[in-house]
């Protein structure tokens, strides 16, 4: 009785916004037009130092590893051997505004990379990295690609100034150094990550990435001037919104942004497994140098 | 080459960043109470380094387990002479070649343990790995194949990339337990979060995420090169059990058999700047009895940060070894019949 009167009062006062905040979050509930939406105002649980607790195993569900932009379903490489295995799923792009703002000559380079994505030539140290998608060669994927590969990653967050991100793909890791001043000592495959908190959002500034990593299998690329700013925002107990702003004046006309949700892996006893892919690519890379009689 | 450069940078950071941290491994008062994390676990966090010149096994000419000050100094000097490449007794070419290599080696590997032991092995008391048991005919066959590949590689005549070891191929390196000191990149960073202890060995950039919440191991059929690890606390000691190793020959220490191999590791913080890392391995199809080693881990200055150790990405060596071998074949070289080493060349 008392409760009904309160609700009636609130509704009568036109305080619907207040009421919706008082209810459990309605993540995943359709909007009037049918699109899913996270409820506003979610506050993540805290760990001992008062920061949001991002610990867990996370995974993207987008198909951006094939192409950051809109892409059709396609047969995979060597479909004459493996049929529909390895075919590319269709996917909606994750680039804000739809298009990556390439400089004209850079767009041509992207297309060349795509055409050469399945080629490999490691016979010379100097041209070692010139051909082929680094994913195919089992090289560490760099940031942000590591986040949307079709593999999970784990965030290990305590109360020290270090947050570890561990990726299943080729057991890559990177250390996020919180409120860190020192610049990257030199370039690396997973880059130099410095973090800070912006409210409930973990903001990671990534510099010092090797120029050889790609963004996807479509040949999207960057130079060694790449600067990525990532934002991890918890929006429900089971979701984070991931955003990354990508800046590289050598390749793009302006900074651009990607965003997509990350999903918490919820299987009972789920754990990060090993995907050490070096032995899976050795024949491709090194097979032509072995003794003929040993084939 | 580039991975060497990374190693070099890490080594430089090592040299610049570190004062002399002399731990009291094995001698620390048992009463040391390590700090606790906010959720109540003993705090092992930090970057730790396990480099030492003390050999795993006691050298045959050394009679005792622990040396006095004078003997220790002599022992350390003699080991350092054999280990370092920074010596000037090989002629110009050899000396320059050695200096080039020494550049990225961990200088901390030239000191023996602070407790002046003559072996890292503490059990059996003779400091030696127990005798090997005779392998089954099947395992002998596998081991012989691996040994033949290793011999071709050592002779500079590898037939195939699988003639090279798993570390040379950059599949696993010091991240396979037990953790043993090596020539460079001896750093391990420990992270803790509620329910987990995570150890990240610098080489090769993997993370061993260890649940300490009592959950069961992976099902037996799901194997990994680094195995599957579970931990629990016994007092302030982290006790770690690892199972589910893949069967690939040559990954486990001394060719141990993944089907029968067991390993228990114990991490005890015995001082603010020291962890005692103790492991016991057993494998009734490899060794006649279990054996245990104790390796001090010394905390490195926080100014020294771990850096990504990329390996496979620029593993030019694989191609150099294989193309070199093809060239030598053309020149008629065979295993056991090589051209003599050139001046200054180390093999």
Position B101 scores a pLDDT of: 76
What are the pLDDT digits (tens) for A223-258? 999 999 999 999 999 999 999 999 999 999 999 999
Q: Tokens 């191929």: give the residue.
A: B169
Domain ranges of chain A: 56-75+89-288
Position A232 scores a pLDDT of: 98
- Between residues A110 and B108, the one the model is more confident about: A110
For residue B310, give the nearest of A154, A189, A279 by CB distance.
A189
Structure tokens at A295: 């084939």
- Closest to A226 (Cα-Cα) out of A242, A211, A244: A211
Position B302 scores a pLDDT of: 86
DSSP-H helix ranges across A32-154:
79-82, 104-115, 145-148
Q: CB A177: neighbour CB atoms within 10 A? A: 17
Phi-psi region of A219 (alpha: psi -120 to 50; beta: other; left: phi over 0): left
Distance CA B274, CA B301 (A): 12
Chain A: residue whose CA lies nearest to B165:
A279
Residues in chain A closer than 8 A to B299 (CB atoms): none
Residues in chain A closer than 8 A to B211 (CB atoms): 271
- Does the distance separating the beta carbons of B161 and A282 come in below 8 Å? yes
- Alpha carbon of A9: minimum distance to chain B alpha carbons (Å): 44
Binned at pLDDT 50, 70 and 90, residue A28 comes out as: low
Domain ranges of chain B: 28-51+123-314
Q: Stretch A139-163: mean pLDDT, rounded?
A: 98
Q: Is the dihedral of CA B310, B312, B318, B319 positive or negative?
A: negative
For residue A291, give the nearest of B160, B222, B308 by CB distance.
B160
B242, with CB counted inside 10 A (0-12, 13-18, 19+), is buried
Q: What is the ipTM of this complex?
A: 0.88
Distance CA B191, CA B207 (A): 10
Q: Stretch A14-38: mean pLDDT, rounded?
A: 57
Distance CA B294, CA B187 (A): 17
Residues in chain A closer than 8 A to B193 (CB atoms): 47, 55, 156-158
Specify the 3-state DSSP secondary structure of B8.
helix
Structure tokens at B91: 């002629």
B337, with CB counted inside 10 A (0-12, 13-18, 19+), is exposed
Chain B: residue whose CA lies nearest to A163:
B191
Structure tokens at B265: 């590791």
Binned at pLDDT 50, 70 and 90, residue A170 comes out as: very high
Q: Are A56 and A47 in contact (CB under 8 A)?
A: no
- Between residues A100 and B90, the one the model is more confident about: A100
Structure tokens at A26: 């309605």
Structure tokens at B279: 């492991």
Residues in chain B closer than 8 A to A289 (CB atoms): 161, 318-319, 322-323, 326
Distance CA A145, CA A66 (A): 10
Structure tokens at B157: 């005549």
Q: Are A91 and A71 in contact (CB under 8 A)?
A: yes
Position B345 scores a pLDDT of: 53
Q: Are A62 and A70 in contact (CB under 8 A)?
A: no
Chain B (273-332) residues lying within 8 Å, Cβ to Cβ, of chain A: 305-308, 310, 312-314, 316, 318-319, 322-323, 325-326, 329
Q: What is the CA radius of gyration of chain A?
A: 22
**Mean predicted lDDT score pLDDT of chain A:** 91
Phi-psi region of B150 (alpha: psi -120 to 50; beta: other; left: phi over 0): alpha
For residue B226, give the nearest of A166, A185, A274 by CB distance.
A274
- Does the distance separating the beta carbons of A173 and B200 come in below 8 Å? yes
- Closest to B166 (Cα-Cα) out of B256, B250, B254: B250
- Alpha carbon of A86: minimum distance to chain B alpha carbons (Å): 23
Phi, psi (degrees; rounded to nearest 5) at B69: -55, -45
pTM: 0.89
Q: Tokens 């003390």: give the residue.
A: B54
* DSSP helix, strand, coil percent of chain A (3-state; round to 5): 20, 30, 55
Distance CA B294, CA B178 (A): 11
Per-residue pLDDT of chain B (347 residues; tens, 9 = 90+): 344 444 434 433 333 333 333 444 445 456 899 999 999 999 999 999 999 999 999 998 888 999 999 999 999 999 988 887 777 788 888 888 888 777 778 888 889 999 999 999 999 999 999 999 999 999 999 999 999 999 999 999 999 999 999 999 999 999 999 999 999 999 999 999 999 999 999 999 999 999 999 999 999 999 999 999 999 999 999 999 999 999 999 999 988 999 999 999 999 999 999 999 999 999 999 999 999 999 999 999 988 899 999 999 999 999 999 999 999 999 999 887 765 555 555 54
Q: Stretch A11-36: mean pLDDT, rounded?
A: 53
**DSSP 8-state secondary structure symbol assigned to residue B215:** P
- Closest to B109 (Cα-Cα) out of B35, B182, B10, B22: B182
Specify the 3-state DSSP secondary structure of B161.
helix
Q: Tokens 């036109």: give the residue.
A: A14
The CA–CA distances, whole Å, from B13 to B10, B17, B105, B159 equal 5, 6, 12, 38
B44/A contact by beta carbon, under 8 A: no
- Between residues B19 and A127, the one the model is more confident about: A127
């Amino acid at each position: 009785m008392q409760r009904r009167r309160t609700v009636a009062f609130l509704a009568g006062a036109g305080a619907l916004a207040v009421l919706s905040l008082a209810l459990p979050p309605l993540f995943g509930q359709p909007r009037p037009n049918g699109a899913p939406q996270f409820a506003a105002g979610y506050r993540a649980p805290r760990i001992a130092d008062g920061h949001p607790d991002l610990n867990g195993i996370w995974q993207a569900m987008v198909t951006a590893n094939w192409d950051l932009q809109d892409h059709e379903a396609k047969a995979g490489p060597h479909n004459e051997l493996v049929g529909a295995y390895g075919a590319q799923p269709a996917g909606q792009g994750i680039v804000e505004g739809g298009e990556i703002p390439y400089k004209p000559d850079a767009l041509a380079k992207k297309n060349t990379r795509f055409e050469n994505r399945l080629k490999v030539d490691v016979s010379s140290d100097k041209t070692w990295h010139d051909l082929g998608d680094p994913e195919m060669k089992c090289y560490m994927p760099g940031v942000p690609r590591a986040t949307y590969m079709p593999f999970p990653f784990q965030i290990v967050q305590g109360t020290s100034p270090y947050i570890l991100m561990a990726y299943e793909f080729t057991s890559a890791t990177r250390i996020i150094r919180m409120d860190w001043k020192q610049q990257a000592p030199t370039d690396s495959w997973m880059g130099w990550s410095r973090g800070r908190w912006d409210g409930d959002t973990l903001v990671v500034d990534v510099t010092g990435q090797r120029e050889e990593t790609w963004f996807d299998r479509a040949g999207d690329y960057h130079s060694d001037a790449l600067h990525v700013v990532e934002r991890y925002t918890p929006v429900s107990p089971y979701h984070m919104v991931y955003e990354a702003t990508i800046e590289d004046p050598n390749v793009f006309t302006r900074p651009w942004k990607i965003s997509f949700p990350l999903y918490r892996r919820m299987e009972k006893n789920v754990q990060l497994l090993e995907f050490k892919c070096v032995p899976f690519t050795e024949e491709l890379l090194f097979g032509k140098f072995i003794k003929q009689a040993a084939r | 080459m580039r991975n060497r450069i990374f190693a070099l940078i890490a080594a430089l950071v090592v040299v610049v960043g570190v004062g002399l941290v002399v731990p009291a491994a094995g001698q620390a008062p048992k009463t040391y109470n390590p700090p606790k994390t906010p959720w109540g676990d003993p705090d092992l966090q930090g970057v730790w380094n396990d480099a030492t010149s003390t050999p795993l096994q006691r050298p045959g000419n050394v009679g005792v387990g622990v040396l006095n000050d004078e003997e220790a100094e002599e022992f350390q000097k003699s080991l350092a002479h054999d280990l370092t490449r920074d010596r000037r007794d090989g002629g110009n070419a050899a000396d320059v070649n050695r200096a080039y290599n020494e550049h990225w080696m961990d200088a901390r590997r030239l000191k023996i343990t602070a407790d002046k032991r003559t072996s890292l092995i503490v059990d059996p008391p003779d400091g030696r790995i127990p005798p090997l048991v005779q392998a089954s005919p099947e395992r002998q066959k596998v081991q012989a194949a691996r040994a033949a590949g290793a011999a071709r590689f050592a002779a500079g005549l590898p037939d195939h990339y699988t003639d090279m070891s798993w570390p040379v191929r950059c599949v696993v390196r010091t991240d396979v337990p037990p953790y043993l000191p090596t020539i460079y990149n001896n750093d391990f960073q420990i992270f803790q979060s509620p329910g987990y202890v995570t150890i990240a060995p610098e080489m090769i950039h993997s993370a061993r995420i260890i649940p300490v919440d009592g959950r069961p191991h992976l099902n037996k059929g799901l194997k990994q090169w680094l195995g599957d690890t579970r931990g629990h606390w016994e007092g302030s000691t982290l006790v770690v059990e690892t199972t589910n190793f893949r069967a690939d020959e040559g990954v486990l220490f001394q060719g141990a058999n993944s089907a029968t191999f067991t390993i228990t590791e114990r991490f005890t913080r015995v001082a603010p700047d020291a962890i005692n890392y103790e492991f016991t391995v057993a494998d009734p199809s490899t060794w006649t009895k279990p054996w245990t080693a104790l390796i001090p881990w010394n905390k490195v200055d926080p100014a020294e940060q771990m850096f990504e150790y990329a390996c496979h990405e620029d593993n030019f060596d694989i191609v150099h070894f294989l193309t070199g071998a093809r060239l030598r074949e053309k020149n008629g070289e065979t295993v056991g019949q090589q051209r003599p080493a050139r001046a200054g060349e180390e093999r």
